[in-house]
């Protein structure tokens, strides 16, 4: 066989990729499964496959259907928008390479969050929680507050790791204690409190942030299954953050009860 005929043979014996996608038309309608079979291209990821389906929305039975909806933004695993459950595990679809997945590739929305349509979920709960735990550093005043204290370089490098969180929701999807029976704000949020409390200016309001996680739905809801740290795509040391905040809230609890009126340090 000449090289040419092999090439022709390979081209005609078309390789395809099979997808099983859990779809849902409206936030309240019932989910259903639909299969798709699309042509294989080298270096495909789940998003490029979804784009292929959008271009030609025909399911595996050859019937025309509606295009599958999903969310995306950065396409480089820094925004978190494209998170979904792929072959049983929550992760980002933009970095899920087809070559590394077993087929059929099963896509489901992260049902810990309300489903908007198909694979699109509403992560508003996390954004609200960020506001609730005061995940920012107050620098505004009625006059120029000047420069804040300097952050030691080694601490900055360490804090950078915690700041990589993209609020993707994967750790909430992985946590057995984040569900509709509890109102646990989730591992990421506890770690954010640690991040902002370790910033020299942020530390000026550390007691206020600790109070927010010592309330309903806060750190007390953690049951130490430690799935979050396994699931986080950014390798954030979530369980270390949780244990560190456990210690900080223990101290805060005693301070609140036995301490004086001086709360900050």
Q: Binding residues for another protein, per CB under 8 A?
A: 88-89, 174, 176-177, 179, 181-183, 213-227, 230-231, 237, 239-240, 242-250, 253
To the nearest whole angstrom, how small is the minimum distance from the Cβ of residue 165 to ligand FES? 12
Segment interacting with ligand FES, rule: CB under 6 A, options 68-76, 114-122, 128-136, 172-180: 68-76
Is residue 51 a contact residue for ligand FES (CB under 6 A)? no
Residue, CB closest to ligand HEM: 223
- Of residues 96 and 232, the one with the C-beta less far from ligand SF4: 232
- Of residues 31 and 223, the one with the C-beta less far from ligand HEM: 223
Is residue 191 a contact residue for ligand FES (CB under 6 A)? no
Q: Is 173 helix (H, G, I), strand (E, B) or coil?
A: helix
- Of residues 110 and 229, the one with the C-beta less far from ligand HEM: 229
Is residue 82 a contact residue for ligand FES (CB under 6 A)? yes
d(CA 190, CA 243) in angstroms, rounded, equals 10
d(CA 159, CA 165) in angstroms, rounded, equals 11
The backbone torsions φ and ψ at residue 81, rounded to the nearest 5 degrees and listed phi first, read -65, -30
To the nearest whole angstrom, how small is the minimum distance from the Cβ of residue 177 to ligand HEM? 8
User: Is the distance from CB of 169 to CB of 182 less than 8 angstroms?
Assistant: no
Residue 202 binds: one of another protein, ligand HEM, ligand SF4, none (C-beta under 5 to 8 A by kind): none
To the nearest whole angstrom, how small is the minimum distance from the Cβ of residue 72 to ligand FES? 4
- Which spans of this chain sit near ligand HEM (rule: CB under 6 A)? 223-224
E strands along the chain, which residues? 16-23, 32-39, 83-86, 89-92, 105-108, 115-117, 120-121
Q: Is the peptide bond before 104 cis (omega within 30 degrees of 0)?
A: yes
Residue 223 binds: one of ligand FES, ligand HEM, ligand SF4, none (C-beta under 5 to 8 A by kind): ligand HEM
Look up residue 152 and give its DSSP letter: P
d(CA 47, CA 86) in angstroms, rounded, equals 12
Give the contacts of 175 (CB within 8 A, at least 6 positions apart).
184, 186, 187, 225, 227, 228
- Of residues 83 and 252, the one with the C-beta less far from ligand HEM: 252
Here the tokens at position 249 are: 């809230």
To the nearest whole angstrom, how small is the minimum distance from the Cβ of residue 94 to ligand HEM? 35
């Amino acid at each position: 066989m000449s090289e040419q005929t092999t090439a022709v043979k390979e081209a005609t014996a078309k390789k395809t990729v099979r997808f099983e996608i859990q779809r849902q038309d409206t936030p309240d309608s019932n989910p259903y499964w639909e299969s798709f079979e699309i042509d294989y291209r080298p270096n495909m990821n789940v998003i490029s496959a979804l784009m292929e389906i959008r271009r030609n929305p025909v399911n595996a039975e050859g019937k025309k259907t509606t295009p599958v909806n999903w969310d995306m933004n950065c396409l480089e695993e820094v925004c978190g928008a494209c998170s979904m459950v792929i072959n049983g595990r929550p992760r980002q679809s933009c970095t899920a390479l087809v070559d590394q997945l077993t087929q059929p590739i099963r896509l489901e929305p992260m049902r810990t969050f309300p489903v908007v349509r198909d694979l699109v979920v509403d992560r508003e709960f996390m954004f609200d929680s960020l506001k609730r735990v005061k995940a920012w550093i107050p620098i505004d005043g009625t006059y120029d507050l000047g420069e804040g204290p300097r952050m030691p370089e080694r601490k900055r490098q360490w804090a950078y790791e915690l700041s990589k969180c993209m609020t993707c929701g994967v750790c909430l999807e992985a946590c057995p204690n984040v569900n509709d029976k509890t109102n646990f704000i989730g591992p990421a949020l506890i770690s954010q409190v640690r991040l902002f409390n370790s910033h020299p200016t942020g530390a000026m309001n550390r007691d206020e942030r600790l109070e927010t996680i010592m309330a309903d739905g806060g750190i007390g809801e953690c049951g130490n299954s430690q799935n979050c740290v396994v699931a986080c795509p950014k390798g954030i040391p979530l369980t270390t953050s949780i244990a560190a905040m456990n210690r900080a809230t223990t101290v805060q609890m005693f301070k609140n009860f036995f301490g004086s009126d001086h709360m900050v340090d």
